[in-house]
Each structure stands twice: as C-alpha cells, then as structure tokens.
C-alpha cells in the first residue's frame, strides 16, 4: 500500500475508534498523547463554551487548541471546519455566526460524522452541515466560505500543499483562516520531530514555523501570523495560525 494512503488509513482508524468510545482509546491521539504525558489542549475551551455543548461533543474533542476563540467570527458568516470530528468547533462556530450564518464540518471518518450529527441534534443547532471528504479535496465550490478553521488536523495530512491550496480555493477574496496546530521549531529536523511522537499523535507530521509560512505564502495568503499558545513537547508548540486571502486573488 502507498505510504501516504497507509498513513491516512491509520489516522482514520484511530479516530473511528475515538468516536466509538468517546476517548482516544490508544497510546496516542491529537489532544491526548500519553507518550508525551500531556494534554495538548491545555484547557483551551472555557466553561462558557463547554456549558452549551453536549458532553459527547466535548469528550470527543481531540485537538490542540480552540480555533473558534481566535477566528473573530461575525454574524452571517459561513465557516468551514477541517477535520471536524465530534463537532465541537462547528457547533461553537454556528452559535457565533447566528441564524443568518452557517457552519460546515468536514471529516473523512463515518463514525465521527455520525457522532457530530447526533451532537448537533442534541444541541438544537440547525445551521450546520457535516460533509464527508478529505481536507486535500474539499467538497465545496470555489469562493464559498468566509472563514476556515481547523483544530490540530493539518499536521495529520500527508499532502499539506494540497490542503493550503484547497483552503485558498474555497475562501472568498478577503476570507481568512484561524487554525490551531502543532508547529515545530525551525531547528528541529523531520527525524527529530518523529523522535518526539507519532504521526497520528500530531507530532511527527508537524510543520516547522518557516515551512508553515512558506506553504501559506505559496498558496497566496498574506497577513500571516503564528502565535504560540502553549508547549506540546520539547521544541514543539500548539500555535494559532492566522492568514488572509487577498481581495485581489
């Protein structure tokens, strides 16, 4: 089997089990990597956020931050969450954009999509839709969303240039991203990142800061910023990434 396809299947299987059990159910997962003895989320969801969500949506959150807290969402906007999992960020986004806005969640795992739909129904949130697909081939039209968010998922992709290209494609001119992800110091080699944790644990596949910037610039983004939230492991941090699609492109 092709190594990229094999890695994607490993990720899918791990998160399918997580959806079924409500936990990572293994030594490593984004958000809860026992090999690091760390909770990569670092308590980034407030009690106010959690209190309006079904317990299963909160328990199934396996990210490394809270992208909805930094995406500056406004009434009436359309939001896309890449790797939406149990739906926590989609549901929070839907509440922030209000009845005139809309929130999409994209996930490749049937079990997560089923859980997310159940959580949306329980929360009484109707301005949402969960789509099955890959973040490297987003099943939405060009220039169809205002904001793209993602919570510790892009590092899991084996084709990150395709991901950033697709984000740019679906964003409207002037659209923006608000992403939480694990990012490595520029000093760490690919092998050194792999020594610190697995790919499915959101460590081995992490980009460095300069790699992140280069790929975003290559996809046409401007106003790029990377802000450290908290440390994940030695030389690697949970980082908030912001960027804008220029109005002329």
pLDDT one-digit tens code per residue, 135-193: 999 999 999 999 999 988 999 999 999 999 999 999 999 999 999 999 999 999 999 99
**Is residue 249 one of the residues assigned to a domain?**
no
The pLDDT, as a whole number, for residue 162 is 97
Mean pLDDT confidence for 184-206: 88
Q: How many domains does the chain have?
A: 1
**Is residue 60 one of the residues assigned to a domain?**
yes
The pLDDT, as a whole number, for residue 2 is 63
**Is residue 187 one of the residues assigned to a domain?**
yes
**Is residue 231 one of the residues assigned to a domain?**
yes
**Is residue 171 one of the residues assigned to a domain?**
yes
Query: From residue 137, how far is each of 93, 142, 161, 243, 249 by CA, in Å?
Result: 22, 12, 11, 20, 20
The pLDDT, as a whole number, for residue 179 is 93
**Is residue 211 one of the residues assigned to a domain?**
yes
In the chain, alpha helices (H): 3-21, 47-51, 55-59, 88-97, 110-123, 160-170, 190-196, 209-218
**Is residue 167 one of the residues assigned to a domain?**
yes
Q: Which domain holds residue 55?
A: 3-244
Residue pLDDT, tens place only, 12-63: 677 666 666 554 444 445 544 444 344 434 445 556 556 555 555 555 455 5
State the chain's mean pLDDT as an integer: 83
CATH classification of the domain holding 191: 3.40.50.150
State percent of the chain over pLDDT 70. 73
Mean pLDDT confidence for 195-205: 83
> Does the pLDDT value for residue 195 go beyond 80?
yes
State percent of the chain over pLDDT 90. 57
DSSP state of 67: G
> Does the pLDDT value for residue 221 go beyond 60?
yes
CB atoms closer than 10 angstroms to residue 174: 12
**Is residue 133 one of the residues assigned to a domain?**
yes
The pLDDT, as a whole number, for residue 35 is 41
CA nearest neighbour of 19 among 135, 109, 82: 109
């Amino acid at each position: 089997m092709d190594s990229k396809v094999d890695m994607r299947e490993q990720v899918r299987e791990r998160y399918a089990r997580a959806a079924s059990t409500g936990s990572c159910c293994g030594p490593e997962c984004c958000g809860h990597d026992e090999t690091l003895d760390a909770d990569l989320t670092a308590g980034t969801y407030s009690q106010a956020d959690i209190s309006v969500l079904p317990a299963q949506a909160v328990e199934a959150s396996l990210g490394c931050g809270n992208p909805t807290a930094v995406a500056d969402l406004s009434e009436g906007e359309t939001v896309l969450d890449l790797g939406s999992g149990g739906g926590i960020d989609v549901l929070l986004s839907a509440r922030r954009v209000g009845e005139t806005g809309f929130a999409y969640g994209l996930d490749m795992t049937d079990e997560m999509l089923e859980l997310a739909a159940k959580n949306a129904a329980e929360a009484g949130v109707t301005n949402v839709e969960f789509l099955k697909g890959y973040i490297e081939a987003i099943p939405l039209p060009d220039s169809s969303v205002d904001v793209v968010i993602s919570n510790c998922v892009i590092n899991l992709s084996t084709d990150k240039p395709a991901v950033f290209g697709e984000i740019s494609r679906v964003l409207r001119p002037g659209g923006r991203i608000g992403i939480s992800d694990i990012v490595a110091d520029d000093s760490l080699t690919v092998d050194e990142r792999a020594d610190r944790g697995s790919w499915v644990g959101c460590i081995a596949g992490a980009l460095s800061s300069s790699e992140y910037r280069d790929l975003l610039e290559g996809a046409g983004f401007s106003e790029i910023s990377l802000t450290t939230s908290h440390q994940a492991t030695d030389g690697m941090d949970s980082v908030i990434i912001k960027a804008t699609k220029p109005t002329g492109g």
